[in-house]
Amino acid sequence: MYTKDGESYFVVDSHVHFWDASPANQANRYGKGFIECFYDYSRNLSPAEWVWPLEKFEKYSEADLLHDLFETGYVDKAIFQPTYLSDFYVNGFNTTEDDGAIAEKHPDKFIVNGAFDPRDGEAGLDRLDALAERWNLRGVKLYTAEWKGESKGWKLSDDWSYRYLERCERLGITNIHVHKGPTIYPLNRDAFDVADVDDVATAFPNLNFIVEHCGLPRLEDFCWIATQEPNVYGGLAVAMPFIHTRPRYFAQVIGELLYWLDENRLTFASDYAIWSPKWLVEAFVDFQIPEDMQSEYGVLTPDVKRKILGLNAAKLYDIEVPAQARARAEPVVSGEAVGSAPEVPA
Amino acid sequence: MTDRAAVWDALGTVRDPELDRPITDLGFVTEAVVTDEGAGGADVRVRLRLPTYFCAPNFAYLMVADAYDALRALGGVGDVQVRLEDHFAAEEINGGVAERAGFGGAFPGQATGELAELRRTFRRKAHTACLERVCRKLLATGLAAEDLAGLHIGDVPESAERTALVRRRAELGLPAGPDAPLVVGDDGAPVPVGGVAARLRFAMAVRVSIDGNAGWCGGLLRTRYGTPTEDAT
């Protein structure tokens, strides 16, 4: 919980990792390149005091994780999003089991999400069943650009993906976190294209599709889809840290998202350990749309910030929110200025 | 006669399709060397770099291939070598371009076609963003969105924004002369008065996206390589 100026904010960090990218676990040059890419993301957008040495960034401890999220980071609940990258890392980059082992030691702190890969066919469906039972899954994190032998990725609209999503629906896995990356078959198409999200969001109205880093670098395509699909959400991992080095750009991203989606479908995330929640939460609560942009984008009220920082994710995962941190004002009804997003009932 | 300035100018015509800016401005050119003229003309060697190891391979290919083509088109050129470095698919891309194998040839089995459609998609986005920049300036003078519906390119005062818009429109093969309508859709058809505000609102999202990506990529390049190269300043 974070409190400032008499306002309390319940914080759900919707996207955290506990990875091992140490040289011992790197299977090849791709594993090395992947973590160095993450490291540059971190170094580029973090305040200087938050930049770790590469060795620590490659493999941090459980104590680091707990300290940075819960002791200093104001996080009330963190959602583990696994990223397997089995072709890049010997034991995987960050598996459900890695996350689950920590979560079981701190049951009130974490939610464990799983993952699936439709290229695993029937056997993968069985594994999804087992994973759901073992970890009581409410969500999965999908990385469509994951390499698998000759394959450089897959689409949510692939036939087998539909079968997995049907299984998710049956298993009560309602939150589908989608992460787009730079490769996908066929390589001549735009890998970041989010059109497949549109297809499955229409086909599975009972599932929620949380598009990580809100579709960046295809913000406009994401907004276009999300405004038409009420079950599409924007995860703010990667977008959040621009608040420090490029606050005017951050204002534009938040402004666009609020215009096209409204305030009920955006969820805060640090993408820890790329960035840390402490400075992100503090900066976001202090943040306001610059005056010269307010005629286009409006302002961020404490209630808007409360929803983004925790209440929206709490609703998706049925997390109980203490009374003092609930939204006070009446929900904003989406008017003409705000896309076509319907109001989400309380 | 090919000198270094001519090589640099040629590279300046190559744009990152996603960021809609010249690779020379983006700091993607690490080195451009022109060696002594042999019998066949001057040999040109260019090294390119990108903001991350995992930048999308299709965009990377387009930049390497476009650089190669731009240099080949110079008069008095012998051997041309363009090499992308520090990228996961550098070997495939460099080899494919050098052998003129096309994108499909560079990534056998991984692609279902060439990159023309991808390029066109991003030219449309670039055009949309340029349209928004022009219209934003007009709106700031007190015009209403509806007032823009009847305007033509020729009604827009000379400006960098107008020049950029006309160039993007010509690249798409759309009417770009003074009598061409200003506010058009991706297909060049004029947007009716009732649709102008919506067209410009979405165009704003496109412009924010492209500008934001350019800033992000520029920041990552600086983080990855430190200070810009001499050439890029």
Which chain B residues have a beta carbon less than 8 Å from that of A144? Answer: none
Residues 6+ apart with CB under 8 A from A310: A9, A10, A11, A12, A76, A77, A268, A321, A325
Chain A, window 193-222: residues with a beta carbon less than 8 angstroms from a chain B beta carbon: 216-220
| A185:B110 CB<8 A | yes
Q: What's the pLDDT score for residue A79?
A: 98
The rounded distance, in Å, linking the Cα atoms of A15 and A267 is 9
pLDDT attached to residue A346: 38
Q: For residue B93, which phi and psi values (nearest 5 degrees)?
A: -65, -50
**Residue-level pLDDT at B38:** 74
Confidence of residue A318 (pLDDT cuts 50, 70, 90): very high
Residues in A touching B109 (Cβ below 8 Å): 150
Angstrom distance (rounded) from CA B60 to CA B62: 5
Statement: residue A343 has pLDDT above 90: no
Instruction: Round to whole Å and give the CA distance between B103 and B87.
Output: 16
Closest partner residue to B110 (CB to CB) among A43, A186, A216 is A186
pLDDT digits (tens, 9 = 90+) for B56-104: 999 999 999 999 999 999 988 999 999 999 999 999 999 999 999 999 9
- State whether A223 and B104 contact (CB < 8 Å): no
Predicted pLDDT at B75:
85
Q: List, in order, residues 6 or more apart from B90 with CB less than 8 Å away.
A: B83, B84
pLDDT above 90: percentage of residues in chain B: 91
Distance of CA A318 to the CA centre of its chain: 17
**Mean pLDDT computed over A148-158:** 95
Residue type for position A36: E
Asked if A190 and B118 count as a contact pair (C-beta separation under 8 A), the reply is yes
> What is the pLDDT, as a whole number, of residue B37?
73
Instruction: Mark yes or no for CB contact B223/A190 under 8 Å.
Output: no
Judged by CB atoms closer than 8 Å, whether chains meet at A29 and B88 is answered as yes
Q: What part of A 173-192 touches B (C-beta under 8 Å)? A: 181-183, 185-192
Q: Which whole number is the average pLDDT over A9-19?
A: 98
Residue B195's alpha-carbon distances to A76, A334, B145, B185, B192, in angstroms, are 45, 20, 9, 10, 5
Does residue B230 carry a pLDDT above 50? no
Tell me the angle at which helices B196-225 and A219-226 cross, rounded to the nearest 10 degrees: 140
B contact residues 35-64, partner A, Cβ 8 Å cutoff: 52-58
By the CB < 8 Å criterion, does B111 face chain A? Answer: yes
Q: How far is A34 from chain B (nearest CA, A)?
A: 7
Q: Residue A337: its pLDDT value, please?
A: 39
Q: What percent of chain B has pLDDT over 70?
A: 97
As a whole number, the mean pLDDT across chain A is 94
C-alpha distance from A256 to closest chain B C-alpha (Å): 7
> Is pLDDT of A342 > 60?
no
Position B88 scores a pLDDT of 97
Band of residue B231 on the pLDDT scale cut at 50, 70, 90: very low
Is A220 close to B112, i.e. CB distance below 8 A? Answer: no
Going by C-alpha positions, the residue among A211, A212, A284, A216 that lies closest to residue A251 is: A284
How much is the pLDDT for B2?
A: 74
The 10s digit of each residue's pLDDT in A248-257 is: 999 999 999 9
pLDDT at B192 over 70: yes
Residue A333 above 60 pLDDT?
no
Residue A267 at interface with chain B, using a CB cutoff of 8 Å: no
A229-242 tens-digit pLDDT: 999 999 999 999 99
Using an 8 Å CB-CB cutoff, list chain A residues near B212.
216-217, 219, 242, 249, 252-253
Residue A118 has pLDDT above 60, yes or no: yes
Is the per-residue pLDDT at B9 higher than 80? yes
Nearest residue on chain B to A192, judged by CA atoms? B56
What 3-state DSSP class applies to A227? coil
Q: Helices B116-140 & B160-171, crossing angle to 10 degrees?
A: 150
How high is the pLDDT of residue B39?
75
